Amino acid sequence: MKEINTGIIGKAQLKVTEKELAVNVGSGSLEVFATPIMVMLMEKSACNCVAEYMENDETTVGTELNVKHVSASPIGSDITAEAELTEINGREFTFTVKAYDNAGLIGEGTHKRFLVYGEKFTAKANAKI
């Protein structure tokens, strides 16, 4: 891993379509932006935050997530997730994550990721079969 410091920020964006609605992903019955998709976008922003610092077979995996979905977003909304690296503890990274739609904040929380070596990690997971 290249040298990395706290304070860096990663982002991820999407426009809400039919496929991101709660009613269509199984997380509710309403035609609003689904919480699981917001969570995915938050994780993606954290991945993006540290991606350029990974070397060779290094990558990160999510290990903990604590978020609140505080405001609903309709179809057609532009969603932006942002992750700020707030703590580094060896190979563990802690992020503050937030998500916004066109009108403002829709979600916030914390997320942890752990640096792993892709081939070794995948082999260990596949050994469960």
What does pLDDT average to over the chain? 98
Q: Is 111 exposed, middle or buried (0-12, 13-18, 19+ CB in 10 A)?
A: buried
Query: For residue 53, what is the DSSP state?
Result: T
DSSP 73-95: --TT-EEEEEEEEEEEETTEEEE
Tens-level pLDDT at each residue, the chain (129 residues): 999 999 999 999 999 999 999 999 999 999 999 999 999 999 999 999 999 999 999 999 999 999 999 999 999 999 999 999 999 999 999 999 999 999 999 999 999 999 999 999 999 999 999
DSSP reduced 3-state for 97: strand
Tens-digit pLDDT profile for residues 12-47: 999 999 999 999 999 999 999 999 999 999 999 999
Q: Which domains does the chain have, with CATH numbers?
A: 9-126 (3.10.129.10)
Q: What angle do CA 90, 92, 96 make, to 5 degrees?
A: 130
